[in-house]
Structure 1
């Protein structure tokens, strides 16, 4: 019988492996956009509105200077755009461009397709159980 620590380590290793597979599957589609930059794009997408650089940095848990650097790179790739904040002319808002939205759509589709391939090994009942257990673990 496995000790709880051994089981936890095995689960962690399997989850890490699955995450790596997901990243490899989407890396081809991403076109050189790093995981950190993808986090910025996903954060902007989930916000459903342009964010100030300071808000973006806070949501990402990084310092504003780092957010500025990442946004510079994403803006150069035409994935985000900066706009003046109409409520505060000293502030700048960051929003996804159509190219940024298209990239996120492509990555999500590719990630979903890779997961469908993995999940095809499980019966529908097993998939349902897996989802239920993952939701339980993810609940805060």
Structure 2
């Protein structure tokens, strides 16, 4: 059983690792001249998973943010030509968000930067250690098994 101090240390290590990943990813993005925030990056990645352009409300729900936050993100991405607003053909009051060719290019560069950052950070680990880390992270991201054996997913 871990002590509260040990849990606090683990939490701090996770935060430090997250900051390091962001720093390294940002460095790789700067090398290719891509100026994009982590939140804009997340919106582009989310947008790429939709089969057809989603509504702003869909994006807000998926990202678990208020609609105003999505509006701000879309404004920034639209200013750089990475997305565009388009009226829904079935209901002109509804606005859908489409990724542009520039947005798809930015997404490719983002993926490359994320891969390069991951390779840099994971370099000291063996393949077996990477598998263990992946399984542990899946457990933390997906939820936990409680002490009574029930599965509590978030």
TM-score interval for Structure 1 and Structure 2 normalised by the shorter chain: 0.7 to 0.9
Tell me the CA shift for residue 63 of structure 1. 2.8
2:132 is the counterpart of 1:133: no
SS at match of 2:36: coil
Q: Which residue in 1 is equivalent to 2:12?
A: 13
Note if contact 2:25-2:116 (Cα within 8 Å) is conserved in structure 1. no
Tell me the CA shift for residue 105 of structure 1. 1.7
Alignment root-mean-square deviation, CA: 2.0
Distance 1:14 1:48, change over 3 A: farther
Note if contact 2:41-2:110 (Cα within 8 Å) is conserved in structure 1. no
1:19-98 to 2 correspondences below 5 Å = 19-28=18-27, 29=29, 31-98=34-101
TM-score by length of 1: 0.86
The CA distance in 2 between the partners of 1:131 and 1:77, in whole Å, is 35
Deviations 1:93-126 (CA, angstroms, capped at 9, x unpaired) = 1011121122122122212122112222112211
SS at match of 1:32: coil
Aligned length: 139
| Structure 1: gaps (5+ residues) | none
Note if contact 2:47-2:54 (Cα within 8 Å) is conserved in structure 1. yes
Q: Whose relative contact order is higher, 1 or 2, with alpha carbons under 8 Å and at least 6 apart?
A: 1
TM-score by length of 2: 0.79
SS at match of 2:95: strand
Tell me the CA shift for residue 59 of structure 1. 2.1
Match among 90, 99, 111 for residue 102 of structure 2: 99
